[in-house]
Structure 1
Amino acid sequence: MVQTDNLKFQYKKAEPLFHFPNITLEEQENLLILGKSGIGKTTLLHLLAGLLKPVSGSVMIDDVQINRLSHSQLDTFRGQNMGLVFQKNHAVRSLTVLDNLKARLFFSKKPIDLAAIASLLEQLDLKETQKKKVNELSEGQLQRLGIAMAVIHNPQVILADEPTSSLDDENCSAVMQLLQQQAEKNQANLVVITHDIRMKSGFKNIITL
């Protein structure tokens, strides 16, 4: 479950105050957040992830008000319960694909399940790359690795930042399906922020900022 109430954020006192609409997602419900650049989409995603603290209001993830957690509590909660798909891949470039996924599980304090890793690599068409270093991957493979790292630890919430903005129509559809399939497999909420209106057809719940 994801719920926000009266969420506001301001970077500096002289800058505009962002006031975001309330969000309520029940178990396994997904949400698309649309809006042009500069409207606050990424800010909202970072608030949902606990990477920013609101000026006022609350963010609840499965009955935990994350903006009241300490830094260490929040780091632990985020690592165990959230999967983040960023525009820029944050995999460790000196490690292999397999070792990046092992490291993700280790830092999430989750068991390193090689069978689960193998299954996920198969689903995301990355099986042949598992022994490759990250800097040997294509852009498409990097993107799929980003999805794998976001879901390998079975998060309750998957948050994706502009996952299709630089893709053609075929790859846009493929990435959207991958995200939704992984959210369904993990019984997780999927929240995608984008300015890419092509994604509208895949979501029932849509908010336009």
Structure 2
Amino acid sequence: MLQTEYLTFQYKKGNQIFKFPNITLEKRENLLILGKSGIGKTTLLHLCAGLLTPLSGKITINKTDINSLSNNELNTFRGKNIGLVFQKNHLVQSLNVFENLQTRLFFSKKNTTNKEIEDLLKQLDIYDLKNKKVNKLSEGQLQRLGIALSIIHNPKVILADEPTSSLDDQNCNTVIKILKEQAKLTSANLIVITHDHRLKSHFQNSITL
């Protein structure tokens, strides 16, 4: 379960204080957050991931107040329980696709077989690229690899920042289907932030910032 209460945030160099609506998601509940650029969508996602510290308010994931954790505890908690799909992928450039996924599993301390990794790559239509270095991938391929990295360790919360922005309609539908299926499989919450209105039909719950 994920819950946010009375969240506010202010960047050090800005005067604006962002105020966010309360969110309560039970197991397997998903949420689409829509809004234009600059409204605070990514800020909210980074708060939920513990990458930013709120000015005020509380974030609870699986009964854990994440802002009460030490830095080391938060890093461990995030590695095991949160899957992040960034707009800009954070990949090890010297490794190939398969090795990047193995590295993600190593740091999350989760055991997954090579077959499970290969099956996920097949679902995302990047299996043929498994031995390619990531600097040889297209933007769409990098985005699908980012999806794989966010769900390979079976997180309890999947947070996706514009996961379909560079994808055509077919791959857009494929990616959202996989994210939703993975969330259902592990009883996880899926939160997607986007300005891509193609996704509205895929979600029962949505809010606009």
Q: 1:166 to 1:112 in 2, by over 3 A?
A: closer
Asked if the contact 1:151/1:186 (under 8 Å) is kept, the reply is no
| Stretch of structure 1 that moved more, 81-90 or 170-179 | 170-179
3-state secondary structure, aligned to 2:52 = coil
Alignment of 1:14-25 (within 5 A): 15-25=15-25
1:12-51 alignment runs, 5 A limit = 12=12, 15-51=15-51
Deviates more, 1:103-112 or 1:9-18: 9-18
Change (3 A) 1:13 1:117: closer
On the 8 A contact 1:155/1:186 being kept in 2, the answer is: yes
1:154-209 Cα offsets, whole Å, 9 max, x none, are 10000000112233333322322222222223321110001112211110110111
Paired position in structure 1 for 2:84? 84
Maintained 8 Å contact 2:124/2:175: no
2:29 and 2:20 map into 1 onto residues whose CA distance is 19
In 2, distance between residues paired with 1:85 and 1:185?
A: 18
CA-to-aligned-CA distance 1:116-142 (integer Å, 9 cap, x gap): 212212222222111111112222221
Aligned partner of residue 193 in structure 1, secondary structure: strand
The separation in 1 between residues aligned to 2:140 and 2:17, in whole angstroms, is 36
Shifted more, 199-208 versus 108-117: the winner is 108-117
- Does the CA-based 8 Å contact 2:32-2:203 persist in structure 1? yes
Superposition TM-score, scaled by structure 2 size: 0.94
Aligned to 2:95: 95
Aligned partner of 1:126 in structure 2 is: 126
Letter aligned with residue 202 of structure 2: G
Q: Is 1:144 aligned to residue 144 of structure 2? A: yes
Structure 1 residues not aligned, in runs of 5+? none
Q: 1:69-80 counterparts in 2 under 5 A?
A: 69-80=69-80
Contact 1:106-1:112 within 8 A present in 2 as well = no
Q: State the one-letter code of the partner of 2:10.
A: Q
Q: Secondary structure at the match of 1:54?
A: coil
User: Does the Cα contact within 8 Å between 2:139 and 2:166 map onto a contact in 1?
Assistant: no
Q: Distance in 2 between matches of 1:8 and 1:96?
A: 39
The reply to whether residue 160 of structure 1 matches residue 165 of structure 2 is no
Q: Distance between the aligned counterparts of 1:13 and 1:94, measured in 2?
A: 35
SS of residue paired to 2:36: coil
Equivalent residues of 2:140, 2:167 under 8 A apart: no
Q: Which amino acid aligns with 2:200?
A: K
Q: Which amino acid aligns with 1:173?
A: N
Residue pair 1:4, 1:59 contacting (<8 A) in 2 also: yes
160-169 or 61-70: which moved more? 160-169
Residues 1:66 and 2:59 are matched in the alignment: no
